[in-house]
Structure 1
Amino acid sequence: MSILLSGRWEAAERDQWLALLRAALPEESWVLEPGPEVEAAVVANPPPGALQGLPRLGFIQSLWAGVEKLLADDTLPAGVPIARMVDPAMNEAMPQTALWAVLGLHRGFFEIQAQQRRAEWRQLAQPRAGEWRVLVLGLGELGGRVAQLLAAQGYAVSGYSRRPAELPGVRCLHGEAALAAALGEADTVINLMPLTEATRGFFDAARLAQFKRGAGFINLARGAHVVEADLLAALDAGRIGRAVLDVFQVEPLPAAHPFWSHERVTVLPHTAAQTDARSAAALVAANLRAWRAGREPAHRVERDRGY
């Protein structure tokens, strides 16, 4: 089988992936340029048009969890199954980052860090974890794990999803009315929703006005979920007490962007949970072998849903 490896990356990153994938699937032929012999493609946000004109293409495996950029390519061959990356290492890292951010907001550690810069010694109130209400938006693979980890730490956790869900220790919600009520009572809101046309610009002025005054906002999903000017206005007005942001409309975040210097914003350089090429290569190999054997690949994308 001829497999195309295609993406927008530096040569060193591409070569690392190629070496790991060749080691995981030594029986296959890997190519870096499209051609009529290509039967499958392993991609990382490939340039638009990279997958058109491949008559034998039968399967596409994304190396990233999000596939919105891939699906936005009008030349993407219709009917070819696509699988997204659900990396076990990422599944561990994202809940760790979420717990760190929630602890920082709940225990006031971000404010204490600011106090250090002012040489200010002041002890803050310390509510119990069970008194701190956390709302996780998106209960997919990552959101579900985040919600359950936080619940296991004693937090009062609610989770919102488009469809009904059930998770041990988590109050699961769906529907607009339930969402509005949950936003109004949550001390911390974590966004882990997929990016679709329905969720693009989800956090605008109207949505942020539904938040409990002074609540913390953690965005670990996609920058396009947030109307950044509206978030800045909500922070300045005190509607949002602090934002912990890992993703942005433009990345890298421009040096002149006000998020960098805002006293109530913590900026992460898209590092909440990075794909581990070692474990991901093993998953790619398993999915390609499953497809080759006529079995359903894991984590297949539903194109009409956008994830």
Structure 2
Amino acid sequence: MSLNILFAARPERWAEYETPLRTAFEAAGLKDYNLSMEIPPEQVDYIVYAPNSRLRDFTPYTRTKGVLNLWAGVEEITGNETLTQPLTRMVDDGLERGMVEWVTGQTLRHHLGMDEHILGQDGTWRNETPPLAKDRPVTILGLGALGRACAETLAHLGFPVTGWSRSQKEIPGITCLSGDDGFARALETAQIVVLLVPYTPQTENLIDAAALSSMPAGGFLINPGRGSLIDDDALIAALDSGHIAHATLDVFRTEPLPPEHLYWAHPRVTVTPHIASETRADTAAEVIAENIRRGEAGEPLLHLVDRNLGY
């Protein structure tokens, strides 16, 4: 009997993913399968899923062994009470490398003061020498796959890196903290803070007025995680006062960011349009294929979501 794999994402994604998925399935030894956007629910074995697809009711998918998310974030579907099948999130090399490159680039930009020279071509000779990386403490909030990869890369460049997570982690070369006390300690010396925690009800407004005030004056905030992690009003107040020197924001509560939003025109804010990293079809397809192979072999699925934690 053929393995029925439903591709449940926006139609324009089909052309992007069909060939990489078939290539990855062949490489994983999956031969007898049916991959389609149209399969009767009761016949579906696996769902390759994007949260912005039209599929919302999972009740009819009684045979389905796994819902394999194409996104790293799962907050839009973990609350779906009809979704009782095993759910996985996307952790793939392309997504990870893209995030590492973006975070490293933005960190170096602020560390070296590049904006002053790129934007300050006004005839003024600005010859202040930036500090070395060893003198610029960086904190990564969130030590999942993406946060860990960014932390290790920045540490390799010589930055003193502190990482904070919900549960205690041990990563060579990184000062790892956890809990409320650890959160405060992670911020109090951080000249650059990078937000990579998942969004949950507990992390909403994680960066509020108190958190911002605990950072050293003149610090930088970089957010490629989720827009809801930041109290926007508190951040704008901290930017207006100069306590936060600059915020580079890639994610927002409403996307696309409305044209009238204060972030667009604020001189101490850089807006990027949710491009810090993107799931790459070729590498994501390999993760999907491996999970289907595992499911058929009776092995545990990779990157299973803990519904209680929300990620």
TM-score of the two chains, using structure 2 as the length reference: 0.92
Tell me what 1:140 maps to.
144
Q: Does 1:52 align with 2:52?
A: no
Tell me what 1:177 maps to.
181
Q: Give the 3-state SS of the residue equivalent to 1:17 in structure 2.
A: helix
Q: Does 1:92 align with 2:97?
A: yes
Number of aligned residues: 302
One-letter amino acid of the counterpart of residue 137, structure 1: L
Given that 2:8 and 2:55 are in contact with CA atoms closer than 8 Å, whether structure 1 keeps it comes out as: no
One-letter amino acid of the counterpart of residue 50, structure 2: A
Tell me what 1:65 maps to.
72
One-letter amino acid of the counterpart of residue 43, structure 2: E
Q: Does 1:16 align with 2:20?
A: no
Given that 1:188 and 1:217 are in contact with CA atoms closer than 8 Å, whether structure 2 keeps it comes out as: yes
What is the aligned counterpart of 1:28 among 20, 27, 33? 33
User: 2 CA distance for matches of 1:227 and 1:54?
Assistant: 39
One-letter amino acid of the counterpart of residue 19, structure 1: T
One-letter amino acid of the counterpart of residue 22, structure 1: R
Q: Give the 3-state SS of the residue equivalent to 1:275 in structure 2.
A: coil
Given that 2:49 and 2:69 are in contact with CA atoms closer than 8 Å, whether structure 1 keeps it comes out as: yes
User: 2 CA distance for matches of 1:93 and 1:44?
Assistant: 19
Deviation at 1:15, TM superposition (A): 2.3
**Within 5 A, what are the aligned runs for 1:94-133?**
94-116=99-121, 118-133=122-137
Deviation at 1:52, TM superposition (A): 2.5
One-letter amino acid of the counterpart of residue 5, structure 2: I
User: 1 CA distance for matches of 2:115 and 2:34?
Assistant: 50
Tell me what 1:75 maps to.
82
Given that 1:180 and 1:210 are in contact with CA atoms closer than 8 Å, whether structure 2 keeps it comes out as: yes
Q: 1:186 to 1:156 in 2, by over 3 A?
A: same
Tell me what 1:294 maps to.
298
**Within 5 A, what are the aligned runs for 1:268-283?**
268-283=272-287
Deviation at 1:47, TM superposition (A): 3.4
Deviation at 1:114, TM superposition (A): 2.2
- Percent sequence identity is 37
User: 2 CA distance for matches of 1:204 and 1:286?
Assistant: 40
Q: 1:120 to 1:267 in 2, by over 3 A?
A: farther
Tell me what 2:156 maps to.
152
Given that 1:115 and 1:121 are in contact with CA atoms closer than 8 Å, whether structure 2 keeps it comes out as: no
Tell me what 2:5 maps to.
3
**Within 5 A, what are the aligned runs for 1:155-170?**
155-170=159-174
Gaps of 5+ in 2: 26-30
User: 2 CA distance for matches of 1:227 and 1:108?
Assistant: 26
Deviates more, 1:59-68 or 1:28-37: 28-37
TM-score of the two chains, using structure 1 as the length reference: 0.93
One-letter amino acid of the counterpart of residue 4, structure 1: L
One-letter amino acid of the counterpart of residue 58, structure 1: K
Given that 2:24 and 2:289 are in contact with CA atoms closer than 8 Å, whether structure 1 keeps it comes out as: yes
Q: Give the 3-state SS of the residue equivalent to 1:158 in structure 2.
A: strand
One-letter amino acid of the counterpart of residue 2, structure 1: N
One-letter amino acid of the counterpart of residue 111, structure 1: E
User: 1 CA distance for matches of 2:117 and 2:167?
Assistant: 39
Q: 1:240 to 1:31 in 2, by over 3 A?
A: same
Given that 2:212 and 2:238 are in contact with CA atoms closer than 8 Å, whether structure 1 keeps it comes out as: yes
Q: Give the 3-state SS of the residue equivalent to 2:235 in structure 1.
A: helix
Q: Does 1:195 align with 2:199?
A: yes
Given that 1:108 and 1:124 are in contact with CA atoms closer than 8 Å, whether structure 2 keeps it comes out as: no
Displaced runs of 4 or more, over 6 A? none
Deviation at 1:119, TM superposition (A): 4.6
Q: Does 1:259 align with 2:263?
A: yes
User: 2 CA distance for matches of 1:23 and 1:131?
Assistant: 47
RMSD (CA atoms): 1.6
User: 2 CA distance for matches of 1:71 and 1:119?
Assistant: 54
